[in-house]
Amino acid sequence: MLNKYARAFFTRVLTPFAALLIRLGVTPDAVTLVGTGGVVAGALIFFPQGELFWGTIVITLFVFSDLVDGNMARQLGRSSRWGAFLDSTLDRVADSAIFGGLALWYAGGGDSLVLCAIAIFCLASGQVVSYTKARGEAIGLPVNVNGLVERAERLVISLVACGLSGLHAFGVPGVEILLPIALWVVAIGSIVTLGQRVVTVRRESAEADAVAQGGNSA
């Protein structure tokens, strides 16, 4: 849902920055690679140590590369299958690092195997949710559905809660509960979103098969 509204807003905001990078000779693929590297480093260096606030700050600085690289490609008129493939693949890498870093924290200093398992579930379910759309599109279906918790929602919910929870280290009381709540919300929301996409693919495939059979009988 956030993809529909927030992406257009941030695209407008980041357009001047994207134009500056183009003038400096930076390529969209380079932005994609650097952005992913920054997210992975922030998640796997800071989160396992319990540095949730600073990890979130680092990740947030780099996560907008997902919008900047696409903006650059459009300005250059170079949108390509390779760019789309690289961007989508590295998005999965970044998401895995974020939830993997949180799982490492809860397996260690965070001392909660339940939350470790929930973080791993968020990681896995996010990959499956993305796969269902990609696979549906690969067999020629539009997969026309706005899921309850898609990638944008997973990132916003998790990172906002993570950053706020990290304020506990600065003496802010009670905020540490926000991250566990967010992980449960993302986990349950991912299950709902997966169901929405599966139902949509089933309906669209049935409709496509009916049209194909009608054409053959004619």
Give the end-to-end CA distance of the chain in Å, rounded to a whole number. Answer: 40
Instruction: Judge contact between 169 and 102, C-beta under 8 A.
Output: no
Q: How far is CA 10 from CA 16, 137, 166, 196, in A?
A: 11, 26, 25, 27
DSSP H or E stretch at residue 26? none
3-state secondary structure string across 181-209: HHHHHHHHHHHHHHHHHHHHHHHHHHHHH
Give CA–CA dist 160/56, Å, rounded. Answer: 8
Exposure of 167 by Cβ count < 10 A (0-12 exposed, 13-18 middle, 19+ buried)?
middle
Task: Give the C-alpha separation, 202 to 132, whole Å.
Answer: 11
Would you give the DSSP letter of residue 173? Answer: T
**Strand ranges (DSSP E) for the chain?**
none
Concerning whether 111 is annotated as a catalytic residue, the answer is no
Taking residue 41's Cβ as centre, other Cβ atoms within 10 Å add up to 15
Q: Which of 91, 95, 111, 209 is catalytic?
A: 91
Residues involved in catalysis: 91
